[in-house]
Amino acid sequence: MEFSELLQARYSVRAYLDKPVEPEVLQAVLDDARHCASWSNTRGYVLAVATGERLERIRADYASHAETVSGMLRGRPGAFLRALREGKLPKADFKTWGKYPPELRKRQVANGKRYYAHLGIGRGDEPGRAQQVRQNLELFQAPVGIFVFVHRSLLPFSAQDAGLMLSTLMLAAANRGLGTVAIGTLATWRTPVEAEFRIPKDYGLITGLALGYPDPNAQINEYRAEHPPLTLAEPRDG
Ligand SMILES: Cc1cc2nc3c(=O)[nH]c(=O)nc-3n(C[C@H](O)[C@H](O)[C@H](O)COP(=O)(O)O)c2cc1C
């Protein structure tokens, strides 16, 4: 495939075949991903790569938080207090919930509307929406989960570097017929990952990523987000 075609064909994959990713293919993707630019070449991120039983334990741990996340994401009154009472408050390194600035909120809402319309989930369909949150927390049943930690002392540059690496990784995966989706929701809790990996001090979980072979028959994989032109600043007169 032409490189531009590959770029334009990539999309967030949210349903996967029940097929493991061959270890050598996963390694090749990780090897491609290291060839990205970085702030003073510091590469201030650490990846926790989970497959097999380790990933199943992580998935189950995340799924046990599904109800709390649903309530909070939906802004349900009392959801936060209930989570506090039940000892289920998020243990996030970075806040994944809360208000967006108005001009960006517009984009988030527009994408959410198109996405849920595609899935046939209406505004008031609480079970349908809760099921979506659960699927996020279960990494859409992908056979590989990658959790990205960034150095807190080099923020925002470590986060910028992690983004460059992730984009490279997503394209390297697409080049090998694999699908990916970043899942920021997973950063709401670091405990499921920390129970399975030694995370160096000073690193915070910024996002998870699902990776695997896309299910070609899943309707959810037919969704395509809009990719409008990049926002350019107006040049000043003169
Ligand atoms: C850091 C990051 C976190 C994301 N978190 C989620 C998520 O929690 N759940 C989800 O379904 N998609 C998530 N996405 C996917 C975006 O919604 C998606 O990239 C965007 O709508 C553009 O669509 P495309 O990737 O299909 O081109 C995330 C993307 C990024 C870059």
Ordered by start, the domain boundaries in the chain are 3-222
Span 156-194, pLDDT tens digits: 999 999 999 999 999 999 999 999 999 999 999 999 999
Nearest in space to 65 (alpha carbons), one of 47, 79, 51 = 79
Q: Where are the alpha helices (DSSP H) in 138-199?
A: 157-175, 191-194
Best residue among 118, 147, 181 to mutate for probing ligand 1's pocket (most ligand atoms within 8 Å of CB) is 181
Helix (H, G, I), strand (E, B) or coil at 171: helix
- Asked if 211 and 142 touch (Cβ cutoff 8 Å), the reply is yes
- Calpha distance 48→186 (Å, rounded): 13
Report the mean per-residue pLDDT for the chain. Answer: 94
Find the distance separating the first CA and the last CA of the chain, reported in whole Å.
43
- Asked if 50 and 62 touch (Cβ cutoff 8 Å), the reply is no
- Asked if 50 and 196 touch (Cβ cutoff 8 Å), the reply is yes
Distance 185 CA to ligand 1 centre (A): 10
Q: Of residues 90 and 125, which shows the higher confidence score?
A: 125
Helix (H, G, I), strand (E, B) or coil at 104: helix
The residue whose CA is least distant from atom 14 of ligand 1 is 182
Nearest in space to 208 (alpha carbons), one of 188, 189, 183 = 183
Name the band, by pLDDT with cuts 50, 70 and 90, for residue 73: low
- Calpha distance 62→59 (Å, rounded): 5
Q: How many helices, marked H, and strands, marked E, lie in the chain?
A: 9, 4
Instruction: Return the axis-axis angle of helices 52-63 and 126-137, rounded to nearest 10°.
Output: 150
Ligand 1 atom showing the smallest separation from residue 10 Cα: 27
Helix (H, G, I), strand (E, B) or coil at 68: helix
The residue whose CA is least distant from atom 13 of ligand 1 is 183
Q: Of residues 87 and 155, which shows the higher confidence score?
A: 155
Residue 183 Cβ inside 6 Å of ligand 1? The answer reads yes
- Asked if 209 and 166 touch (Cβ cutoff 8 Å), the reply is yes
Looking at domain 3-222, what is its CATH homologous superfamily?
NADH Oxidase (3.40.109.10)
